[in-house]
Amino acid sequence: MSEFIGAAFGFPCLVMTTAFAAVIGFWTLVLCRVTAPDTFDADADTEVLGLGDTSAATAASAVVATGWVLDVCGMVLLGRAGLPGVWALPLSVFLLAGALTLSWWLTKWVFGLRRRASFPRTSPRPGPGRRART
């Protein structure tokens, strides 16, 4: 347990821990009905990021939470590898960037699955033996 706490409050992962604390604080305010979950929707367009018509707070929370989990787990594994400091620091910074990138891709994929599941096709796609309906 101390490994995870040390990794979460260590150098590069502290950035994600702070962002994750802000996400937890925001959703606590939503649960207490101090603010609404769609507070940031007028300011941000999630379509541009490829996240569909999802609420901006929901999309950002998913990216930050997934990135935090990936970064903390990666830092624990990196710490167990026992690399010298010359290699550990650049790899930990690369891990932070990689965790954020991977979490954005995973969130984009999950919200894409959700969008496809909520809007099923009513007619089959036109294929080699079919013509499109007009």
Q: Report the C-alpha gap between 66 and 48 in whole angstroms.
A: 20
Question: What confidence tens digit (pLDDT) does each residue in 95-111 have?
Answer: 999 999 999 999 888 88
Amino acid making up residue 77: L
pTM: 0.75
C-beta separation of 130 from 124 below 8 A: yes
* Cβ-based neighbours of 83, under 8 Å, separated by 6 or more: 91
pLDDT score at 26: 94
pLDDT score at 133: 56
Question: What confidence tens digit (pLDDT) does each residue in 28-78 have?
Answer: 999 999 988 887 776 666 666 667 677 888 888 999 999 999 999 999 998
Give the count of beta carbons closer than 10 Å to the beta carbon of residue 15: 14
CA-angle at 56, arms to 51 and 57, nearest 5°: 125
Domain ranges of the chain: 2-118
Question: What confidence tens digit (pLDDT) does each residue in 109-122 have?
Answer: 888 766 655 555 55
